[in-house]
Amino acid sequence: KAKDEGGNSHFQYMPALHAHAEERRKLEGALRHAIANDEMELHFQPVVDARSEHIVSFEALLRWNSKEHGPVSPAKFIPLAEDTRLIVPVGDWVLREACREAARWPDEIKVAVNVSGEQLLEPAFASTIVRALAETGLPAHRLEVEVTESVFLRDGRTARQTLEEIMALGCSIALDDFGTGYSSLGYLRTLRFSTIKVDRSFVQGAAQDSQESLAIIRAVVAMAHSLDMSTTAEGVEDAEQAALIRELGCTKIQGYYFGRPMPAQEARSLVVKGRQAA
C-alpha cells in the first residue's frame, strides 16, 4: 500500500492541519470568555534605574490561566488575540487594570502597558486611554505605552497620529524590542519616544561577547542619547550582564536579575517596602 500512501500523501497531513485549526478554534473560543471567566491576570515586572537600581516603573504583562487549557503562554495567545481582534477588548481590560494598580503605588513609579497595532488603529483608542486614566485616577504622566516597530507597518500614518494624541495627553511612549523588527529610523526622527527598549537578543549577545551585539547596543545608546531618549536593556539575567549594560550606558534595566514578572500584590509590597527602607 506504499504506493497509495505516496499518491495520496495529502490525506496524511490533513489530520494534522485539521487538528491545528481545531485547537486554534477551541483556544479562540476560550479566549473570547477569558475575561468574563476571570481567567486573566496582570503580572508586573520591575524596571530599575541602571545607576541607583531603584525601581522606576513596572511593565504590565498579561497572564492567561484558562480553566480549560491551563496556563497559556503570551507568545501563543497574544498573536491569536491580534488575529481575531480580541486584543481590542482584552487590551482595554489590561489598560484599566494596569492603571488601577499603578494608582496605588508611590507617585514616582510609572506603569508600562503593551499596546498592539490593532488597538492603535482603533478610531477611538486615545479616548480609551482617557477613560482608563479618568476611571482610575492615574495621572497621564505615570502611564507609558509600549509599541513595537511593527505598529508602523500596516498604516503608519494612523499609528503615528494616535501616538501623537497619546503623547498630547501627557503619557510617554516606549519603542519595544528595538532592533528586531523592520527597523526604520524614519519614525525616530519625527516621534518623540521617551524610551528605546533594546531587545533581549542584543543583551544576551553582548553578554556572550558578540562584537556585533556590543556595537549595536553602543550605537543605539548613542543615538538615543542625542535624541534625548532613554534606553532600557531588556532581559538582564545576572549581575555580570547588569554591570556590562551599565558600562554600555543604558539608562534603565529590566530582567530576571532585578525581578521576574510578579502578581500585583507582590509588586505592591515591593514598592511600599522600598519606600519604608529609603
Is residue 144 part of the contact set for Mg ion (CB under 5 A)?
Answer: no
Among ligand C2E, Mg ion, none, the one that 94 touches (CB under a kind-dependent 5 to 8 A) is ligand C2E
Is residue 40 part of the contact set for ligand C2E (CB under 6 A)?
Answer: no
Is residue 61 part of the contact set for ligand C2E (CB under 6 A)?
Answer: yes
Q: Which three cell numbers stand for residue 106?
A: 508611590
Least distance in angstroms from the C-beta of 245 to ligand C2E: 11
Stretch that binds ligand C2E, among 2-10, 112-120, 124-132, 167-175 (CB under 6 A): 112-120
Interatomic CA distance for residues 6 and 209, integer angstroms: 49
CA dihedral angle for residue 51, residue 53, residue 57, residue 60, rounded to 10 degrees: 120
Stretch that binds ligand C2E, among 20-28, 103-111, 223-231, 235-243 (CB under 6 A): 235-243
Is residue 259 part of the contact set for ligand C2E (CB under 6 A)?
Answer: no
| Nearer of residues 1 and 150 to ligand C2E, judged by Cβ | 150
Least distance in angstroms from the C-beta of 278 to ligand C2E: 25
CB under 8 Å to 233, separation ≥6 — which residues? Answer: 50, 197, 198, 203, 217, 245, 248, 250, 252, 253, 254, 255
Stretch that binds Mg ion, among 13-21, 101-109, 174-182, 201-209 (CB under 5 A): 174-182
Tell me which of 94, 105, 146, 217 binds Mg ion, using CB under 5 A.
146
The answer to whether 191 and 160 have CB atoms below 8 angstroms apart is yes
Tell me which of 66, 114, 230, 251 binds ligand C2E, using CB under 6 A.
114
Q: Which one, of 202, 194, 157, lies nearest residue 178 by Cα? A: 202
Binding residues among 209-238 for Mg ion as defined by CB under 5 A: 234
- String of b and e for 148-185 (b: at least 16 CB within 10 Å)? bbbbbeeeeebbbebbeebbeeebbbbbbbbbebeeee
Is residue 114 part of the contact set for Mg ion (CB under 5 A)?
Answer: yes
Is residue 237 part of the contact set for ligand C2E (CB under 6 A)?
Answer: yes
SS3 (DSSP) at 136: helix
DSSP H helical ranges for the chain: 2-7, 9-32, 74-84, 87-102, 117-120, 125-136, 156-169, 186-190, 200-207, 211-226, 239-248, 264-277
Least distance in angstroms from the C-beta of 7 to ligand C2E: 43
Binding residues among 28-87 for Mg ion as defined by CB under 5 A: none
| Nearer of residues 47 and 86 to Mg ion, judged by Cβ | 47
Is residue 241 part of the contact set for Mg ion (CB under 5 A)?
Answer: no
